[in-house]
Amino acid sequence: MNSNFKKLFDLNKSNQTFESLERLLFWDQETMMPKNGINIKTLQKKELASLIHSKKTSKEYKEALLKLIDIDSGQILDKDLDIDQKRCVEVMRSDYQKAVKLPNSFVSKMAEVSSEATHTWIEAKEKNDFAMLEPHLQSVIDLMREKADHLGYEDHPYDALVNEYEPHMTVKTLDNLFNPLKESLSNLTKKCAKNRADDSFLYGVFDTDTQLEIGKKLLLEMGLEEGNYRLDLSAHPFCMPVHANDLRLTTRIEDSSFHQCLSATMHEGGHALYEQGILADQFGLPIGQNASIGVHESQSKFWETFIGQSLPFLKGFYPKLQSAFPKQLGNTPLSDYYEAVNLVQPSLIRIHADEVTYGLHVILRYEIEKAFVEGKMKVKDLPEVWNEKMEKYLGMSPHTNREGCLQDIHWPSAHFGYFPTYALGNLYAAQLFNEMKTDHPDYELKLENCEYLFIKKWLEEKVHQHGRRYDPQDLIEKATGKKLSSDAFTKYLESKYTK
Amino acid sequence: MNSNFKKLFDLNKSNQTFESLERLLFWDQETMMPKNGINIKTLQKKELASLIHSKKTSKEYKEALLKLIDIDSGQILDKDLDIDQKRCVEVMRSDYQKAVKLPNSFVSKMAEVSSEATHTWIEAKEKNDFAMLEPHLQSVIDLMREKADHLGYEDHPYDALVNEYEPHMTVKTLDNLFNPLKESLSNLTKKCAKNRADDSFLYGVFDTDTQLEIGKKLLLEMGLEEGNYRLDLSAHPFCMPVHANDLRLTTRIEDSSFHQCLSATMHEGGHALYEQGILADQFGLPIGQNASIGVHESQSKFWETFIGQSLPFLKGFYPKLQSAFPKQLGNTPLSDYYEAVNLVQPSLIRIHADEVTYGLHVILRYEIEKAFVEGKMKVKDLPEVWNEKMEKYLGMSPHTNREGCLQDIHWPSAHFGYFPTYALGNLYAAQLFNEMKTDHPDYELKLENCEYLFIKKWLEEKVHQHGRRYDPQDLIEKATGKKLSSDAFTKYLESKYTK
Q: In this predicted model, what pLDDT tens digit does every residue of A407-420 receive, in sequence order?
A: 999 999 999 999 99
Compute the average pLDDT of residues B62-78: 97
Q: What is the pLDDT of residue A258?
A: 85
Element (H, E) at A315: helix A311-324
**CA A97 from chain center: how many Å?**
25
Residue B333: exposure state from Cβ atoms within 10 A (0-12, 13-18, ≥19): exposed
Question: Which of A33, A47, A283 shows the shortest C-beta gap to B246?
Answer: A33
Contact check, Cβ <8 Å, B228/A34: yes
Compute the average pLDDT of residues B184-213: 89
pTM score of the predicted model: 0.94
Contact check, Cβ <8 Å, A246/B41: yes
Packing angle of the helix pair B453-462, B208-222 (nearest 10 deg):
60
pLDDT digit string, tens, across residues A318-370: 999 999 999 999 999 999 999 999 999 999 999 989 999 999 999 999 999 99
**Which three-class secondary structure state does DSSP give residue B237?**
coil
Contact check, Cβ <8 Å, B227/A34: yes
Given a cut of 80, is residue B89 above it in pLDDT? yes
Quick one: pLDDT band at residue B116, thresholds 50, 70, 90? Answer: confident
Contact check, Cβ <8 Å, A40/B20: yes
Q: How is residue B246 annotated by DSSP?
A: E
* Closest chain A C-alpha to B209 CA, distance in angstroms: 15
* Mean residue pLDDT across chain A: 95
Contact check, Cβ <8 Å, B17/A43: yes
Q: Which residues of A are catalytic?
A: 268
Mutation to test the A interface, candidates B9, B10, B19, B21, most A Cβ within 10 Å: B21
pLDDT digit string, tens, across residues A171-210: 999 999 999 999 999 999 999 987 778 888 998 889 999 9
Instruction: Give A-chain residues touching B227 at CB under 8 angstroms.
Output: 34-36
- Give the chain A residue whose CA is nearest to the CA of B229: A34
Contact check, Cβ <8 Å, B43/A13: yes
Instruction: Give B-chain residues touching A18 at CB under 8 angstroms.
Output: 47
Which residue in B30, B268, B304, B435 is the catalytic one? B268
Identify the sign of the CA torsion A432, A435, A439, A444: positive
Contact check, Cβ <8 Å, A41/B17: no
Given a cut of 80, is residue A255 above it in pLDDT? no
Query: What percent of chain B has a predicted confidence (pLDDT) above 90?
Result: 91
Quick one: pLDDT band at residue B1, thresholds 50, 70, 90? Answer: confident
* Closest chain B C-alpha to A284 CA, distance in angstroms: 11
Report the C-alpha gap between A452 and B143 in whole angstroms. 50
Given a cut of 90, is residue A64 above it in pLDDT? yes
Question: Which of A36, A229, A230 shows the shortest C-beta gap to B228?
Answer: A36
Given a cut of 90, is residue A137 above it in pLDDT? yes
Between the CA of residue A332 and those of A202, A321, A328, A340, A450, what are the distances in Å?
10, 11, 8, 11, 20
Quick one: pLDDT band at residue B60, thresholds 50, 70, 90? Answer: very high
Given a cut of 90, is residue A115 above it in pLDDT? no
Pick the residue with more confidence: A196 or A276? A276
Instruction: Give A-chain residues touching B28 at CB under 8 angstroms.
Output: 24, 28
pLDDT digit string, tens, across residues B458-475: 999 999 999 999 999 999
Report the C-alpha gap between A388 and A373 in whole angstroms. 19
Contact check, Cβ <8 Å, B37/A245: yes
- Give the chain B residue whose CA is nearest to the CA of A51: B51
Contact check, Cβ <8 Å, A37/B242: yes
Quick one: pLDDT band at residue B194, thresholds 50, 70, 90? Answer: confident
Given a cut of 80, is residue A92 above it in pLDDT? yes
Residues of chain A in Cβ contact (below 8 Å) with chain B? 13-14, 17-18, 20-21, 24-25, 28, 32-37, 39-41, 43-44, 47-48, 51, 225-230, 242-243, 245-247, 283
* Closest chain A C-alpha to B246 CA, distance in angstroms: 5
Instruction: Give B-chain residues touching A20 at CB under 8 angstroms.
Output: 40, 43-44
Question: Which of A32, A226, A243 shows the shortest C-beta gap to B37?
Answer: A243
- Give the chain A residue whose CA is nearest to the CA of B18: A44
Contacts of B415 (CB under 8 A, 6+ apart): B165, B409
Contact check, Cβ <8 Å, B51/A47: no
Between the CA of residue B246 and those of A450, B219, B443, B465, what are the distances in Å?
44, 15, 30, 17
Contact check, Cβ <8 Å, B21/A32: no
Report the C-alpha gap between A52 and A56 in whole angstroms. 6
Given a cut of 80, is residue B446 above it in pLDDT? yes
First to last CA, chain B: 56
Contact check, Cβ <8 Å, A44/B21: yes
Given a cut of 80, is residue A233 above it in pLDDT? yes
Q: What is the pLDDT of residue A381?
A: 98
Q: What is the pLDDT of residue A288?
A: 96
A420-450: string of b/e by CB count within 10 Å (b at 16+)?
bbbbbbbbbbbbbbbbbeeeeeebbebbbee
Question: Which of B17, B33, B229 shows the shortest C-beta gap to A44?
Answer: B17
Instruction: Give B-chain residues touching A10 at CB under 8 angstroms.
Output: none
Quick one: pLDDT band at residue A477, thresholds 50, 70, 90? Answer: very high
Pick the residue with more confidence: B108 or B141? B141
Candidates B467, B36, B398; CA nearest to A246 is B36
Q: What is the pLDDT of residue B471?
A: 97
First to last CA, chain A: 56
Query: Cβ distance A287 to A294 under 8 Å?
Result: no
Contact check, Cβ <8 Å, B36/A225: yes
Report the C-alpha gap between B300 and B265 in whole angstroms. 10
**Helices and strands in chain A, H and E counts:** 21, 3
Do strands A239-243 and B229-233 pair parallel, antiparallel, or not at all (unpaired)? unpaired
Instruction: Give A-chain residues touching B40 at CB under 8 angstroms.
Output: 17, 20, 242-243, 245-246, 283
> What φ, ψ does residue B166 adopt, rounded to 5°?
-135, 95
* Closest chain A C-alpha to B230 CA, distance in angstroms: 6
Q: What is the pLDDT of residue A319?
A: 97
Instruction: Give A-chain residues touching B17 at CB under 8 angstroms.
Output: 40, 43-44, 47
Contact check, Cβ <8 Å, B32/A230: yes
Quick one: pLDDT band at residue B7, thresholds 50, 70, 90? Answer: very high
Bridge partner residues of A232 (DSSP): A250
Mutation to test the A interface, candidates B13, B23, B24, most A Cβ within 10 Å: B24
Contact check, Cβ <8 Å, A37/B246: yes
pLDDT digit string, tens, across residues A31-47: 999 999 999 999 999 99
Which stretch of A118-122, B165-169, B297-301, B317-321 has the lowest confidence by average pLDDT? A118-122
Q: What is the pLDDT of residue B387?
A: 98
Instruction: Give B-chain residues touching A40 at CB under 8 angstroms.
Output: 17, 20, 242-243, 245-246, 283
Identify the sign of the CA torsion B304, B306, B307, B308: positive
Contact check, Cβ <8 Å, B37/A225: no
Candidates A72, A59, A44, A74; CA nearest to A11 is A59
Mutation to test the A interface, candidates B13, B16, B17, B231, most A Cβ within 10 Å: B17
Q: What is the pLDDT of residue B296?
A: 98
Contact check, Cβ <8 Å, B44/A36: no
Question: Which of B37, B225, B243 shows the shortest C-beta gap to A242?
Answer: B37
Between the CA of residue B306 and those of A394, B278, B302, what are the distances in Å?
67, 22, 5
**Which three-class secondary structure state does DSSP give residue B452?**
coil
Residues of chain B in Cβ contact (below 8 Å) with chain A? 13-14, 17-18, 20-21, 24-25, 28, 32-37, 39-41, 43-44, 47-48, 51, 225-230, 242-243, 245-247, 283
Q: How is residue B77 annotated by DSSP?
A: -
* Closest chain A C-alpha to B491 CA, distance in angstroms: 40
Q: What is the pLDDT of residue B119?
A: 85
Question: Which of A40, A43, A227 shows the shortest C-beta gap to B34?
Answer: A227
Quick one: pLDDT band at residue B195, thresholds 50, 70, 90? Answer: confident
Instruction: Give B-chain residues touching A226 at CB under 8 angstroms.
Output: 35
- Give the chain B residue whose CA is nearest to the CA of A50: B14
What is the spatial order of strands in the sheet that B246-251 belongs to? B229-233, B246-251, B239-243
